[in-house]
Chains A and B, each alone.
Chain A
Amino acid sequence: MFPDANALKRKLPQIGIAVAFLILVVIFSMLSPAFFTYSNFANIANQTAIISVLAFGMTLVMLAGGIDLSVGSIVSLSAVVCALLLGADVPTPIAMGLSILTGVAFGATSGFIAVRWGVQTFLVTLGALSVARGLSLVLSEGRTIYIESDLFLALTAQGFIGPVPVLFAWTLIFFVLSWVILNLTTFGRKVRAVGGNIVAARHAGLRTNWIVIRVFMLSGGLAAFGGLMMAGRLSSGLPTVGIGMELDAIAAAVLGGTGFKGEGGSLVGTFFGALVMGTVINGLTILGINPYVQEITKGVIIVFAVVIISMRRN
């Protein structure tokens, strides 16, 4: 019946998570008149925007067979660096560029250490998580650095493009960029090859080390941009933001069907994965559900989704 049954099977997790998202929207809309409103969708868009950007990078890293635990700390480091530069009257585009470079440099270093000495990416980035967090505390001296540049705030988070909040517009831009990189470039195919079987990829003549390093540079750069979005959203650089965000980013990728051994994986799925998590918390808050119960619900949903995905895979 289907010309390519395998292709359809590969797409099942992302279709599943999209359907789950729609069901959630229908249920919450029925339960609360405040849910299905423009301003609430703008809220959900804003509240999932940063996690989504981190999750796109995480998806690429996971497809290459790695994991990047440092992204939450890089969010904070980049936010602090940018807030400090803006405070020192550095022009906005240069401040933003240097902050992104900080993230890229972190990713490059993690990737390099992982391939040069054959260390698991889990361990390297666990160290990077600590280093980046410590750096952002040292640079900020633990303080909240207030951002007064209206240009920066409008560019990153607090403006609108038509009806679309700027924060979410960035998410859409990075979604398209990551999708193009993964699906339309040879680099994207090489990433999947490395994640599928790094030894085979190496025998096929791919420069696997360089591919891994570049994937981590992308992830670091995306996380750093997430940091700029965070700084814009909070009008400040805080050394404490982003704690635990790496886990939400991983959860979003996994909900979208990405596995830990480079299998599955699509950016559409990841996008919906982030939306599902954001929508659940938003909807439960609107319904006035006890916040302790919200945590339980979020955890149960993640486990439930992962079980379904692995059942289908087997």
Chain B
Amino acid sequence: MTMKTIILSLLVLMSWAGCTSEQSQTIGLSMHFMRDDYAVRLVDTVTEVVAQHPDIRLVVTDANATPQKQLADIENLVVQGVDAIIVVPIDEKAILPAIRKANDANIPVIAITTIPDATVLTTIAASGDYANGKASGELLVEATGGRGKLAMIGIPYSLWRIDQRERGFLDAIEATDLEVVARQSGLDQAKIQDTVAGILVAHPDLVGIWCTFSNQIVGAADALRSAKRKDIALTGIDADKAIIERIRSGWITGTAAQFPDQQGRLAAQAILDHFAGNPVATNYEVPIGLVTRGNVDEMERTIWGE
């Protein structure tokens, strides 16, 4: 490459940068993870809402489930001078130093689900995780008649949002004759499939399984299918497309859905209202939606728009 080409390409890059800086406001969206249906749908919705305002630019970052990456992501958004930040937190404590940097720079922060101890403009669905845990627990109580042995699948470490779901679930089964006889954890669908297969061998009289999030439910459903145990009830949280399909075929009893589109839309709208000088509430609740075999088609359209 000659000096001339280098200079020419730099000039081209500079003029391109000049073009993009016309937009007047920028929103940063710091995702905890961008590799499942929930996350992709949320990003798509925020993008959609923001795209209706050509003068506003959206920057999306992906922490890939690592707290230190999300901390760096938010720092980068702050230094870039974005006008607002939407955060879907991976660890509510670890990212606090970065939220404080945003606070110091007077950048409003919108949290999707709670970030305790953080100063935020508004929270979307503060009670969502606890409520979803409880609703999916109640569904399991209903499906099992409230009596028998349960397996509970958690994650291998503690995460505020997942802890809330577990609390909701345990509260739902507390006054019943359901007993948790196996408690295992995992993030990976294939691993959970093996784990649940093992639990089925150890406890042939199991009546129900509860999981904290999407990959686990799909893994557990596939283990039930391999063992031909449609009699075991399975509930949990999330309504990914793979879950919808297994609810339809009867391998999953039902799940408490998160509504990524509603969460994303509310978050984006809150920022737009804030930009326009309109008042913004401190918390926007998103209703709970149970997906069961009875309403699976309707819920699929509501959640995934298909």
Contacts and interface: CB of A to CB of B under 8 A. Distances in A.
Interface residues of A, number: 41
Contacts of B91: 144, 234, 236, 238
A46 B75 contact: yes
Interface in B16-72: 16-17, 21, 26, 31, 34, 57-62, 66-68, 71-72
Interface residues of B, number: 38
Interface of A: 26-27, 30-34, 37, 39-40, 43, 46-47, 50, 137, 140-144, 146, 158, 230, 233-236, 238-241, 243-244, 281-282, 285-286, 288, 290-292
A244 B60 CA distance: 22
Interface in B129-164: 155-158
B94 A142 contact: no
A50 B66 CA distance: 15
Interface stretch (B76-84, B169-177, B230-238, B274-282): B76-84
Given A31-B13, A144-B91, A40 B79 contact: yes
Contact of B13 (A30, A50, A234): A30
Given A34-B80, A286-B79, A143 B158 contact: yes
Nearest to B17: A31
A24 to B, nearest CB: 12
Contact of A286 (B31, B62, B76, B96): B76
A289 B97 CA distance: 24
B237 to A, nearest CB: 19
A27 B9 CA distance: 10
Contacts of A141: 158
A291 B34 contact: yes
A236 B71 CA distance: 12
A257 B302 CA distance: 54
A30 B14 contact: yes
Interface string B108-148: 00000000000000000000000000000000000000000
Nearest to A230: B68
B167 interface: no
A34 B81 contact: yes
Given A46-B75, A235-B94, A239-B157, A285 B66 contact: no
B79 A234 contact: no
A240 B32 CA distance: 14
Given A30-B13, A241-B68, A235 B96 contact: yes
